[in-house]
Amino acid sequence: MDNETKKQGPFAGLLVVDLTHVLSGPFATNILCDLGARVIKIEEPPDGDESRYWGPFVKGESLEYSFVNRGKESIMLDLTKEDDKTIFLNMVKQADILAENFRPGTMEKLGFSYEVLSALNPRLIYASLSGFGQSGAASQFPAYDTIIQAMSGLMMQTGFPDGPPVRAGTSVVDMTTGLYLFGGIVTALYARNHSGRGAYVDIAMFDSAVSFLEQGLLTYLATGVSPGRVGNRDLYISPFDIYKTKDKYIAICCGNDHLFAKLCSALDLSQLITDSRFATNQERVIHENELKTILEKKLMNENADHWLKVIDKVGVPAGPILTVEEAMKLPEIHDRKMLVESGGVMMPGMPIKISGFPDSSTRPPAPKLNQEGTSLREEFGNRQK
């Protein structure tokens, strides 16, 4: 496959050697691929990336795998065998980026530490993603998204006060860690433009989760107390929650007194504006339950569609609570090309839009296992220094 002539985007011309598997690492390298880089995915024999065998399946292929590996090239290499090591090292000599998410120490045992590979290619960006980072007491602990949600405090602050801790409805730690890996790689590339040298990038799932705790962590740092679960409302802003109407729930978010006054006027509840219990945001947070009862008593008189039109007219942020199916039918999905066709199936599009570069509604498919194995062995086999 002649990727060099087909690739377009700000990273066109970059070569990525991708040793990552499952979700977070492949998500990061998929962003590079979508934005023009040539990504060679190295998979372990005999079965390749385990996510190939995870549902949901469309036309017999894993959509989970296809989503984060579209447009890449696949080769199976056994990095314990000399011939395959040679091919891998020849790739590294030409690569701009190497990404891996093995357990810390694995690459060193194979003889492929940053020190070894950067000696072969001083401009190499070597990026490692792991559960708990390359250093520290927990570096060898295995991790999946749910484990990190549990251990970081995220799960304990998700859900309702009278219910159990709840995992977020998506693999949020995997995805945010993938974004940090992408950001770390791009930052190192920028630094290379000035220094001429590559760098080592160390990204941990646990670190990523901690950085995203936001209110939960900030509350603990400010008070010394872990916040409890509060359901859908905000800890420090009110009204900022979901509210029941005659037929459905809707989300309403008033981030300041001005928006609260607009909401009250729209709902014909202007008396609340001067009510001492609700006159300021701090007072509204204290009297959150009373305020919600009053708002819902009013909202229960009409259907959600009615209230969303009324509230939107005064410029207060509000929205319906949709299923995934309903969300995918919004015009914004088409307008922003957030569903794209890849290999005959639909999957999420690219959120990063950059002027001067195409944002196609079609993307190359994910490779079959070892699809480019023969051509890549010819390209990188027995190459001299």
Task: Please give the positions annotated as active site.
Answer: 174
Residue 198: name the closest of 92, 104, 91, 103 by CA: 92
Give the number of other CB atoms < 10 A from CB of residue 8: 12
| C-alpha torsion sign, points 76, 80, 82, 87 | positive
Burial 119-133 (b: 16+ CB within 10 A, else e): eebeebbbbbbbbbb
Angle, helices 82-94 vs 373-380, to 10°: value is 70
125-130 vs 97-100, strand pairing mode: parallel
Residue 34: name the closest of 70, 74, 75 by CA: 70
Asked whether the beta carbons of 377 and 75 are under 8 A apart, the reply is yes
Q: Is 2 left (phi over 0), alpha (psi -120 to 50) or beta?
A: beta
Burial 268-296 (b: 16+ CB within 10 A, else e): ebeebeebeebeebeebbebbeebbebbe
Q: What are the beta bridge partners of residue 98? A: 17, 126
- Please report, to the nearest 10 degrees, the dihedral formed by the alpha carbons of residues 364, 366, 370, 376 taken in order: 30
| φ and ψ at residue 55, rounded to 5 degrees | -75, 175
CA gap 127, 182 in Å, rounded: 9
Per-residue tokens: 281: 């945001």
